[in-house]
């Protein structure tokens, strides 16, 4: 369960809630975190008092005193004069509504909406019914749209029970009560629900509500509710238990930091990392095993493979292994690995086949329990079979590579939209297929993909110094503006060559052969000049075309200075970017958090190491805290000591690993995962430490 308030507007980017909007329209039960399009946000509940308008947004109320904690939310709604408190367990949601005294005889109401969904998702059909004299409310809906955008739809079932029977109740449809009805059904572009009415005795009154939902059956939802009732737990007991569990999870990383604001920023980010995907075992789509561990409620792999999944590999390797197992179960059912999956559907295809990167990361880091031979079959399928046909969801290709890419190793802009960004991602995907094949001792077979990953440089224009769109006749597309970013709403237009980005922002996306890029740029000096320009013109809005942390394509860029031996610039910019982009404020994340991807970037950068997803080593950046203790799942600890670090002391003077001096600013996963201590000597002046032992590369160092 994932409870959340929703505000009174329909917009693509806010997932149903916008802090700046004063009005709440209710509270939903399956919210997703920080994505760029509406998904889920179903089964809305809203308290009200006396006369109420049941039309959409008709029962909205201003809010005050709004606070959110890990495992607990509270606010006050001014119109119904009620204090709202929410908490949750894995399978049940818990509401507590404390109505102010008001007048004796006031009607206190709980409104249920079966058709509500985060825009642009909507209900094709919704149903509402009551039982037990109105004390039990049953809702269901068949929903479509959102980030999946096209069919298939998904069905969800909801049941809720109040702490006492209502004085009366009503079934409503399209804003109007239905006399003497016990149930109703609404179609597309309609809505239905229930209103429960309670009587005020002129003093404060508390009404509690426990709810459950299922994506498989109404019987499952009923069973989850019954299971909780047997526990006889109060709202406060559930809240305490939930917050204790969150504290246990968040304590996997302990930091020594004097600034309370920095602690809030860091642990809020770690909290965001742990929100999705979530385990919905027993709630998988029909046709998949109901008993297997399943994380099929939300995968946003184009975003999360870069930072979030590598962080899970370090902190919660068993969870990461189970997520990979869930992807393989989906592949067995649908025939292909998804790049995104939600609401029983493959999501839009944003780039390459980036599940490949997750399995390469698992192979490179020797993540236990992953069925890599099973995965390799699907990676080979991705890499060898043309995927021009629509995906199972009916929107864009989710299958393999495009025919043209299979033929020549890149896509031409007059034949394929997003030609440059897709080619860049396919190239790294090819490399990742080789990683898994090599791990399985099938390197000779997989070598063709490693070789094909080099053909991406055929899209590199030495004259301009960018990967740029090329026509099928071999000529460059004109005119060319390397800073141009098309608005996200036009991302799938034929004239768009970079997904949510520019040539500047995609320039560094050759994680497997960055030295090859430096060579083609003209060497270290030319590369450094280019990167300095990228950062000098940075903006929190990625549509400006230069470096931006508000989106994913150039997330690696601050760390890529290390390839040219300039760790001091990595150290400067990671600190600068943290300070500029992350705040303890409602707008404290620079863009859509994208399933915790931006937050995971912060967690990595703040502790001072950063992954190159799909490879077995980490960049060393600039630790922000005097001491970091990472409690590894195997019982060991990774300790990062930087006792002299400060906002001023951001540069590394020396490093020791387990007491031995290092001369490099990169670390192997194997050096850390069995427990390690990294001692970092910090200074306020840039140094050239690590400049002669630059990071490894599959294609060799310069």
User: What are the pLDDT digits (tens) for 213-271?
Assistant: 998 899 999 999 999 998 889 999 999 999 999 999 999 999 998 899 999 999 999 99
Kindly state the helix (H) or strand (E) to which residue 407 belongs, with its residue range: helix 403-408
Q: What is the longest distance spanned by two Cα atoms in the chain?
A: 82
Kindly state the helix (H) or strand (E) to which residue 311 belongs, with its residue range: helix 308-315
Looking at the structure, tell me whether residues 240 and 366 fall in a common domain: no
184 occurs within a structural domain: yes
76: which strand partners? 64, 83
Q: Which of residues 188, 220, 247 is at a domain's end? A: 247
Distance (Å, rounded) from C-alpha 55 to C-alpha 57?
6
Tell me how crowded residue 27 is: count the other CB atoms within 10 A of its CB.
24
Looking at the structure, tell me whether residues 320 and 186 fall in a common domain: no
Mean pLDDT calculated for residue range 307-313: 98
Task: List, in sequence order, every beta strand (DSSP E) within 232-331.
Answer: 253-256, 298-300
Contact by Cβ (8 Å): 628, 253: yes
Distance (Å, rounded) from C-alpha 489 to C-alpha 231?
48
pLDDT band for position 636 (cuts 50, 70, 90): very high
Looking at the structure, tell me whether residues 664 and 530 fall in a common domain: yes
- The full DSSP string for 50-72 is SS---STTTT-EEEEEEEEETTE
690 occurs within a structural domain: no
701 occurs within a structural domain: no
175-195 per-position pLDDT tens digit: 999 999 999 999 999 999 999
670-691 per-position pLDDT tens digit: 999 999 999 999 999 999 999 9
Distance (Å, rounded) from C-alpha 512 to C-alpha 698?
6
Distance (Å, rounded) from C-alpha 80 to C-alpha 101?
11
In the predicted model, what is the mean pLDDT of the chain? 92
641 occurs within a structural domain: yes
pLDDT recorded at residue 295: 66
Contact by Cβ (8 Å): 116, 129: no
Which residue is listed with tokens 């008709």? 58
pLDDT band for position 490 (cuts 50, 70, 90): low
pLDDT recorded at residue 390: 45
Q: Which residue has the higher pLDDT, 493 or 360?
A: 360
Q: Which of residues 210, 225, 247 is at a domain's end? A: 247
Looking at the structure, tell me whether residues 301 and 213 fall in a common domain: no
Mean pLDDT calculated for residue range 350-359: 94
Residue 650 has pLDDT above 50, yes or no: yes
691 occurs within a structural domain: no
Tell me how crowded residue 105 is: count the other CB atoms within 10 A of its CB.
10
pLDDT recorded at residue 393: 42
Residue 525 has pLDDT above 90, yes or no: yes
Residue 696 has pLDDT above 60, yes or no: yes
pLDDT recorded at residue 399: 67
Contact by Cβ (8 Å): 640, 602: no
Q: Which residues contact 181 (CB under 8 A, 6 or more apart)?
A: 170, 171
pLDDT recorded at residue 244: 97
Mean pLDDT calculated for residue range 620-632: 98
CA 169 to chain centre: 39
Mean pLDDT calculated for residue range 586-605: 94
3-class DSSP state for residue 150?
A: coil
209 occurs within a structural domain: yes
Mean pLDDT calculated for residue range 335-360: 86
Looking at the structure, tell me whether residues 510 and 562 fall in a common domain: yes
Residue 391 has pLDDT above 50, yes or no: no
pLDDT band for position 394 (cuts 50, 70, 90): very low
From 490, 498, 638, 511, select the one nearest 563 (Cα to Cα).
Answer: 511
Looking at the structure, tell me whether residues 130 and 67 fall in a common domain: yes
pLDDT recorded at residue 29: 96
Contact by Cβ (8 Å): 43, 214: no
410 occurs within a structural domain: yes
Looking at the structure, tell me whether residues 134 and 177 fall in a common domain: yes
Looking at the structure, tell me whether residues 501 and 603 fall in a common domain: yes
pLDDT recorded at residue 632: 98
pLDDT recorded at residue 16: 85
Tell me how crowded residue 479 is: count the other CB atoms within 10 A of its CB.
6
112 occurs within a structural domain: yes
- How many CA atoms lie less than 13 Å away from 341 in the CB half-sphere? 27
Residue 44 has pLDDT above 50, yes or no: yes
Lowest mean pLDDT among 40-44, 347-351, 528-532: 347-351
Mean pLDDT calculated for residue range 105-115: 97
Distance (Å, rounded) from C-alpha 622 to C-alpha 643?
12
Can you give the CATH number for the domain in which 11 is found?
2.70.98.10
pLDDT recorded at residue 392: 42
375-385 per-position pLDDT tens digit: 999 999 999 98
Q: Which residues contact 412 (CB under 8 A, 6 or more apart)?
A: 404, 419, 470, 471, 472
Looking at the structure, tell me whether residues 590 and 574 fall in a common domain: yes
Look at the chain and report how many structural domains it folds into: 2
Q: Which residues contact 465 (CB under 8 A, 6 or more apart)?
A: 507, 521, 522, 526, 530
Mean pLDDT calculated for residue range 3-10: 87
Task: Give the pTM.
Answer: 0.95
Can you give the CATH number for the domain in which 575 is found?
3.30.2080.10
- The full DSSP string for 620-633 is E----SSEEEEE-T
pLDDT recorded at residue 397: 42
Looking at the structure, tell me whether residues 287 and 227 fall in a common domain: no
pLDDT recorded at residue 489: 60
Mean pLDDT calculated for residue range 79-108: 96
Ordered alpha helix ranges (H), 583-664 = 597-607
Q: How far apart are the first and last CA of the chain?
A: 51
Distance (Å, rounded) from C-alpha 450 to C-alpha 431?
5
Looking at the structure, tell me whether residues 114 and 260 fall in a common domain: no
Share of the chain above pLDDT 90, in %: 78
Distance (Å, rounded) from C-alpha 472 to C-alpha 147?
32
Q: What is the length of the chain?
A: 702
Lowest mean pLDDT among 103-107, 128-132, 343-347, 436-440: 343-347
Residue 389 has pLDDT above 70, yes or no: no
pLDDT recorded at residue 285: 62
Angle of CA points 497, 500, 503, to nearest 5°: 55
Q: What is the domain range of residue 351? A: 253-683
pLDDT recorded at residue 7: 92
Share of the chain above pLDDT 70, in %: 94
Looking at the structure, tell me whether residues 104 and 218 fall in a common domain: yes
């Amino acid at each position: 369960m994932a409870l959340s308030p929703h505000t009174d507007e329909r917009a693509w980017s806010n997932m149903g809630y916008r802090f700046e909007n004063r009005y709440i329209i209710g509270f939903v039960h399956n919210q997703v975190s920080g994505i760029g399009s509406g998904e889920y946000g179903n089964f809305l509940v809203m308290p009200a008092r006396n006369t109420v308008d049941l039309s959409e947004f008709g029962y909205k109320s201003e809010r005050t005193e709004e606070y959110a904690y890990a495992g607990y939310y509270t606010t006050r709604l001014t119109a119904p004069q009620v204090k709202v408190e929410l908490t949750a367990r894995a399978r049940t949601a818990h509401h507590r509504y404390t109505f102010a005294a008001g007048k004796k005889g006031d009607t206190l109401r709980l409104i249920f909406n079966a058709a509500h969904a985060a825009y642009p998702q909507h209900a094709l059909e919704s149903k509402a019914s009551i039982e037990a004299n109105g004390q039990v409310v049953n809702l269901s809906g068949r929903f479509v749209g959102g980030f999946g955008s096209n069919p298939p739809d998904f069905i969800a079932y909801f049941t809720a029970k109040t702490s006492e029977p209502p004085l009366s109740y009503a079934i409503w449809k399209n804003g109007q009560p239905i006399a003497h009805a016990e149930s109703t059904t609404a179609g597309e572009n309609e809505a239905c629900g229930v209103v429960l009415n309670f009587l005020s005795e002129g003093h404060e009154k508390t009404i509690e509500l426990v709810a459950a939902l299922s994506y498989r059956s109404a019987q499952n939802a009923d069973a989850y509710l019954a299971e909780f009732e047997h526990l006889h737990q109060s709202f406060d007991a559930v809240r305490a238990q939930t917050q204790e569990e969150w504290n246990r999870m968040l304590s996997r990383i302990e930091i020594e930091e004097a600034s309370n604001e920095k602690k809030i920023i860091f642990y809020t980010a770690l909290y965001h990392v742990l929100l999705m995907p979530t385990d919905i075992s027993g709630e998988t789509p029909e046709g998949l095993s109901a008993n297997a561990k399943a994380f099929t409620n939300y995968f946003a792999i184009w975003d999360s493979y870069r930072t979030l999944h590598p962080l899970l590999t370090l902190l919660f390797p068993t969870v990461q292994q189970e997520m990979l197992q869930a992807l393989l179960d989906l592949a067995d059912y649908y025939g292909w690995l998804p790049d995104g999956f939600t609401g029983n559907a493959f999501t839009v295809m944003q780039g390459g086949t980036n599940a490949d990167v997750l399995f390469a990361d698992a192979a490179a880091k020797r993540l236990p329990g992953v069925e890599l031979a099973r995965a390799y079959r699907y990676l080979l399928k991705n890499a060898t079979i043309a995927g021009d046909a629509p995906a199972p969801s009916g929107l864009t290709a989710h299958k393999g590579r495009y025919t043209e890419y299979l033929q020549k190793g890149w896509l031409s802009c007059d034949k394929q939209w997003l030609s440059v960004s897709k080619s860049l991602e396919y190239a790294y995907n090819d490399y990742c297929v080789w990683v898994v094949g090599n791990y399985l001792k099938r390197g000779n077979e997989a070598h063709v993909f490693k070789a094909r990953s080099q053909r991406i440089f055929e899209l590199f224009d030495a004259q301009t110094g960018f990967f740029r769109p090329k026509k099928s006749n071999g000529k460059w597309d004109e005119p060319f503006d390397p800073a141009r970013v098309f608005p996200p709403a036009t991302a799938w237009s034929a004239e768009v060559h970079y997904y949510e980005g520019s040539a500047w922002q995609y320039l560094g996306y050759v994680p497997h052969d960055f030295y090859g890029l430096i060579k083609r740029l003209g060497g270290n000096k030319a590369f450094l000049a280019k990167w300095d320009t990228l950062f000098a013109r940075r903006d929190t809005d990625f549509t400006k075309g230069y470096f931006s942390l508000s989106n994913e394509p150039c997330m690696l860029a601050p760390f890529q200075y290390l390839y040219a031996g300039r760790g001091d610039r990595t150290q400067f910019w990671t600190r600068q970017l943290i300070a500029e982009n992350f705040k303890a404020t409602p707008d404290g994340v620079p863009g859509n958090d994208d399933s915790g991807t931006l937050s995971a970037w912060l967690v990595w950068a703040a502790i001072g190491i950063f992954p190159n997803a799909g490879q077995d080593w980490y960049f060393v950046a600039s630790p922000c805290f005097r001491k970091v203790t990472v409690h590894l799942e195997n019982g060991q600890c990774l300790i990062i000591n930087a006792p002299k670090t400060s906002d001023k002391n951001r540069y590394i003077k020396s490093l020791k690993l387990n007491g031995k001096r290092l001369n490099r600013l990169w670390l192997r996963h194997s050096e850390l995962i069995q427990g390690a201590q990294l001692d970092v000597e910090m200074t306020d002046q840039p140094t050239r430490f690590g400049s002669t032992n630059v990071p490894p590369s599959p294609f060799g160092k310069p």
